[in-house]
Amino acid sequence: MIVALAGKGGAGKTTISATLSRVLARSGRRVVAIDADSNPNLAVALGMRRQAAAAAWLPADLVSRRITAPALVMPVDAVLSRYAVAGPDGVRLLLMGMPEHAEQGCLCGGHATVSALLADLGAEQGIVAIVDMEASPEHLARGTARNADLLLLVAEPYFRSLESVRRQAELAAELPIGRVEVVANKVRSPGDREAIEEFCGRHGLPLAGVIPWSDAVTAADARAVPLVDAGDPGATGVLEAVRQLSERLDASTPV
């Protein structure tokens, strides 16, 4: 199963991706976390040192160009064995290539590599891939996320975030993505929840989960500590909401 997370910058995609990965792994799932952002931060959010995660970069020469779509030049299990770096709770991390120099040009190779990887990972039984996408809709415009079984659009309860979700939902509808749903994040009040529920109803988008606002999230980020390891009682509501989201994935899609 491939779960991709998208949304406006700062909506909380990386925190949710990392926390969901750890929660799923703790429940016994085989989790591959893919940082598909050219400005990567998923490793730290998972609780890995940047130096250790550096070995997880996916080189552009892992794919060959074909008429239909880019394809891996080696079996996906070999890619995981060679490039994935093990993190806390057994989560395995892979990173999309980032620019090495200014004025390097487009990141076509990185997108092609992730696209080819997801195409083959989708056929692997027993693996849950959590894909942390960048804020830009480029992953959808390029079709990088076309092989996702579920696209979670992370929405904060204010206009610019919801507008970003609306635009990305329209692009996702043109791709063969299995399901597109919304995760409400940083919800402070019943009014916040009602605003996102109204938005989802108006645009025909299922609401997959509601994650409350918590100062514990920003405090853990300031310490560069994963939320699941922070030991902050204030994080209980967030962790419970992510656990419920993980159960929804299990209940709705066979793996």
Share of the chain above pLDDT 70, in %: 90
Spatial contact of 44 and 220, defined as CB atoms under 8 Å apart: no
What token pair was written down for 204?
């025909």
d(Cα 136, Cα 131) in Å, to the nearest integer?
A: 14
Phi-psi region of 11 (alpha: psi -120 to 50; beta: other; left: phi over 0): alpha
Q: Name the pLDDT band for 255 (thresholds 50, 70, 90).
A: very low
CA distance 155 to 169: 11
N-term to C-term CA, the chain: 6
For residue range 35-48, list pLDDT tens digits in order.
998 778 899 999 99
Please, are residues 151 and 179 in contact by the beta-carbon 8 Å criterion? Answer: yes
Mean pLDDT lowest for which of 62-71, 86-95, 214-223, 241-250? 62-71
Question: Which CATH code of 3.40.50.300, 3.30.360.10, 3.40.50.720, 3.20.20.210 fits the domain covering 2-252?
Answer: 3.40.50.300
pTM for this entry = 0.91
Write the pLDDT tens digit of every residue in 109-147. Answer: 667 888 889 988 877 788 999 999 988 888 888 888 889
